[in-house]
Amino acid sequence: MSGLLIFPILLPMAGGAAAILVKSNPRASLLLALTGAGLHALASGLLLYHVHLNGILATQIGNWPAPFGITLVADHLSAVLVMITAIVNLAVTSYSKADIDAALIDRGHYPLLQMLVCGICGAFLTGDIFNLYVWFEVMLMASFGLLVLGQSKSQLYGGVKYVVINLLATLLFLTAIGLLYGLTGTLNLADLHMKVPLIANRGLLEAVAILFLAAFGIKAALFPLFFWLPAAYHTPPVAVSAIFSGLLTKVGIYALIRVFTLVFTFDMSYFYSLLLVMAALTMITGVLGAAAQNEFRRILSFHIISQVGYMAMGLALQTRLALAGTIFYLVHHIIVKANLFLVSGVVQRLQGSFELAQLGGLYRSNGKIAVLFFIPAFSLAGFPPLSGFWAKMILIRASLDIHQYGLAFVAAVVGLLTVYSMTKIWAEVFWKPAPPANHFTDAMMRRKTSTWMLAPITALALLTIIIGFGAEFVFKFAEQAAEELSHPQYYVHAVLGKR
Amino acid sequence: MQTLCAVLVGVMVAASVYLILDRNLIRFIFGLILVGNAINLLIFTVGRLDSQRPPLITVHATAAQETLANALPQALILTAIVIGFALLSFIFVLFYRAYQELGTVDTELMRVAEADPNDQLPVSTPQPGESA
């Protein structure tokens, strides 16, 4: 059983190590990465299946009994996120074949990609808060490398900002872990759930909670802490920005959900009011920021921020339905957002630019791409029956249920403004006649697309449609995950045994 | 001892915040080193400094006879030091490369240097040694 939990971490780690050996050979690199991604998807699928059938799965690494050793745990939330990570990894690995040139492969694109996936899955599966910090670092180091691999000016400048702010977030996280350990004497998340309510010094505990909020808020790009994201995400190759956009901020959201449903479970109403305000402002600033941009990937980057706001909103509402909405949103968003970045890469391939002003006429010249953009874009904006509609509807419904009318209003308006941004891209890139060729869009810059690019985009678009039409199944799953989150005793029982 | 350490952590964090807020990236690195060490010291201190005895139990005993030094914070700090070292070496190289490409370590001037119309393609691969 324990193998199920270890393989989603071990496979990309081994794949990453092996990929270093063959990095000078693009063909072998790709073969190895594809095999690794395929096996990883298989292992994640098995884990998800097992968790769905048998409930929360936990294992103690090295057989050290629970609060002393390192625990790996998979509940519904972890398992589904690992599965989606594997799907995005597979898509991005395939896309890299066409997007990443031999020079970047030689510098280590595939090893870094695999290590990034390893760090992300480790963060999703660990049951130990210090171990979570370690996986965050694995993930960060790999993402630093991927971001600046091309070493262009814009990448280095974006990289400096990204590295600086993320390091500070990690240090805040480490401080919070240190203080929490000083208060409770344990690092195991399940054990923390038992020990934290016994702490008499409530004030100090709340200060630690706020430190966690700040640290994860930076990772997740919540309202006053998001400025690093649009500064960096448009600079790396498309394959890299796709996996970043899909997964990195969501690890922050996952950590927020985990820590605030499992560890800080005592009544902190002012804290959740703060999170509500942050979530609303995140949605609004993100979508307004996007409205002001005229570059394909910058628009999409700002939309990551506004979408993260929706997920934080679900956590802040604290009801089971709202948590289910957040989980639905996570599943929907990761697939859709990664796909949109991949589409932006195809458009850049065909027309040589990310600037909306220099693009146009794709609806006429390449209708297939138009359809492939339309599906994720209008899913993101929340058109029925695509996946985004259900995700938004559950969250708005959850906020109406507990009379948070203001928040429901904000969520609905931000959805409308998302439509504005998506129609802007649609009108500029697809409907507008193609602009006369200039030195940016001359024939040299235009390259052909390949099946390696279109296949993952089509697959992810299909997945969006499947989630949209199979919404009831996904929602039931999300409800089950939310049920586990709102009753931490299941988690504690799986890790510590009977108490 | 604990009070002394707590005050020391405070002073180190204050100094590092001052350095980190500087526009000069070299000062930022100094601030980062300082705050990393301050946090390690903090973890060490919150693990309680009651005893200097090494955490060893005599043969055949199942529990310690007297209070022992807490070994866990040291393991945590060791991990944090190793990770911090790796991050630091990466950040030195990154800042040096940024300095080579952009010609400055001042973050305000970097923004001006980055807005170069000749640098359009995100995947451009400049030759090593080719710098401003």
Could B125 and A171 be called an inter-chain contact, meaning their C-beta atoms sit closer than 8 Å?
no
Residue among B75, B69, B76 nearest B53 (CA): B69
Structure tokens at A307: 């979408």
pLDDT at A151 over 90: no
Which chain A residue lies closest to B47 (C-alpha atoms)? A182
Q: How confident is the model at residue A241 (pLDDT cuts 50, 70, 90)?
A: very high
Alpha-carbon gap: B4 to the closest alpha carbon of chain A (Å):
17
pLDDT score of B123 = 43
Q: Which residues of B touch A167 (CB under 8 A)?
A: 32, 87, 91
Least confident of A152-156, A306-310, A361-365, A406-410: A361-365
Q: Is the pLDDT of residue A304 over 90?
A: yes
CB A231 within 8 A of CB B110: no
Tell me the backbone φ, ψ of residue A73, rounded to 5 degrees: -135, 140
**The tokens of A374 are what?**
């339309």
Per DSSP, the residues of A183-244 read HHS--BHHHHHHHGGG-S-HHHHHHHHHHHHHHHHHHHT-GGG-THHHHHTTSS-HHHHHHI
Q: Which fold has domain B2-53+70-114?
A: Helix Hairpins (1.10.287)
> What residues of chain B lie within 8 A of the CB of A181, using their CB?
43, 46-47, 72-73, 76
Q: Which of A150, A159, A171 sits opposite B35 (nearest CB)?
A: A171
Count how many Cα atoms sit within 13 Å of the Cα of residue A126 in the half-sphere of its side chain. 24
Contact A141 B39 (CB under 8 A): no
Look at residue A172 in the predicted model and tell me its pLDDT. 94
- Token pair for residue A263? 């560890």
A118: number of CA atoms within 13 Å, CB side? 22
**DSSP notation for A440-461:** TSSTTT-----HHHHHHHHHHH
For range A191-220, the mean pLDDT? 92
A440, pLDDT greater than 80: no
- Give SS3 for B110: helix
Decide: A216 and A177 in contact? Cβ < 8 Å: no
- Which residue, B119, B17, B44, B36, is CA-closest to B84? B36
Mean pLDDT of A14-33: 91
Give tens-digit pLDDT for A160-182: 999 999 999 999 999 999 999 99
Q: Which band of pLDDT confidence, cut at 50, 70 and 90, is reported for residue A150?
A: confident
Q: Which residue of B has its CA nearest to A232?
A: B122
Global confidence as pTM: 0.92
Delimit the domains of chain B by residue range: 2-53+70-114
**pLDDT at residue A384, rounded to an integer:** 83
Q: For the residues A409-431, what does the mean pLDDT come to?
A: 91
Each domain of chain A, given as residue ranges in start order, spans: 2-496
Q: Does the distance separating the beta carbons of A144 and B36 come in below 8 Å?
A: no
Contact: B98, A156; criterion CB under 8 Å: yes
HSE-CB of A5 using CA atoms within 13 angstroms: 22
* Per-residue pLDDT at A282 exceeds 90: yes
Q: Could B79 and A134 be called an inter-chain contact, meaning their C-beta atoms sit closer than 8 Å?
A: yes
Q: Indicate the range of A193-197, A393-397, A445-449 predicted with least confidence.
A: A445-449
Question: Rounded to an integer, what distance in angstroms lies between the CA atom of residue A301 and that of residue A297?
Answer: 6
The two structure tokens encoding residue A326: 């957040």
Per-residue pLDDT, averaged over A64-68, amounts to 83
| pLDDT in the model for residue B121 | 44
CB contact under 8 A, A156 and B102: yes
Contacting residues of B for A153, CB less than 8 Å apart: 101-102, 113-114, 116, 119
Contact residues on chain B for A137, CB-CB shorter than 8 A: 83, 87
CA distance A464 to A281: 27
- Please tell me if residue B129 touches chain A, with a CB cutoff of 8 Å: no
Burial B102-120 (b: 16+ CB within 10 A, else e): bebbbbeebeebbeeeebb
pLDDT of residue A106: 87
| A295 interfaces chain B, CB cutoff of 8 Å | no
Split at pLDDT 50, 70, 90, the class of A498 is: low
Closest-CA residue of chain A to B31: A168
Question: Which residue, among A160, A344, A355, would best test binding to B if mutated, counting the most B CBs under 10 Å from its CB?
Answer: A160
pLDDT-derived band at B124, boundaries 50, 70, 90: very low
Confidence of residue A66 (pLDDT cuts 50, 70, 90): confident
B127 contacts chain A (CB < 8 A): no
User: Which residues on chain A are in Cβ contact (under 8 Å) with B80?
Assistant: 174
Q: Which neighbouring-strand residues pair with B70? A: none
Is residue A157 less than 8 Å (CB to CB) from chain B? yes
Beta partners for residue A73, in sequence order: A58
Q: pLDDT averaged over chain A?
A: 90
Query: Most B CBs within 10 Å: which of A130, A149, A157, as the mutation test of the B interface?
Result: A157
| End-to-end CA, chain B | 51
The residues in B 55-94 lying below 8 A from A, measured between CB atoms, are: 72-73, 76, 79-80, 83, 86-87, 90-91, 94
Q: What is the pLDDT of residue A466?
A: 93
Average pLDDT over residues A322-332: 94
Convert the pLDDT of each residue in B40-89 to its tens digit: 999 999 988 877 788 888 888 888 777 888 888 999 999 999 999 999 99
